[in-house]
Amino acid sequence: MTSISEQLSDALGIMVMGMGLVFTFLSILIVGIGIVAKLFPAPVADIPAPQAPSNTAEATRLDPKLVAAITSAIHQYRAK
């Protein structure tokens, strides 16, 4: 049976090796993604500008019945 200090040194070695491998893999992955991004850039789509409504007063007008229903619902909710 090995002593606790030998086991701790083995565990430390395994931990450092594992962290090194993960760091190396992630570094290679980041460099690879950067290379692929430069070789194959994302296409830029032309987005047409939205058309402004011709009459803003018509677009913002609300139905009076809808306003009355919402107001009534709010008053009933607050009365509880």
Tokens of residue 16, six digits = 């450092």
Q: What is the pLDDT of residue 11?
A: 96
Q: What is the pLDDT of residue 62?
A: 84
Distances (CA, A) of 27 to 21, 23, 32, 78: 10, 6, 9, 59
Q: Does position 68 have pLDDT exceeding 90, yes or no?
A: yes
Q: What is the pLDDT of residue 51?
A: 75
Distances (CA, A) of 72 to 55, 58, 66, 67, 69: 30, 24, 10, 9, 5
Q: Is the dihedral of CA 72, 58, 52, 50 positive or negative?
A: positive
Per-residue pLDDT of 7-51, as tens digits, reads: 999 999 999 999 999 999 999 999 999 999 999 988 887 777 777
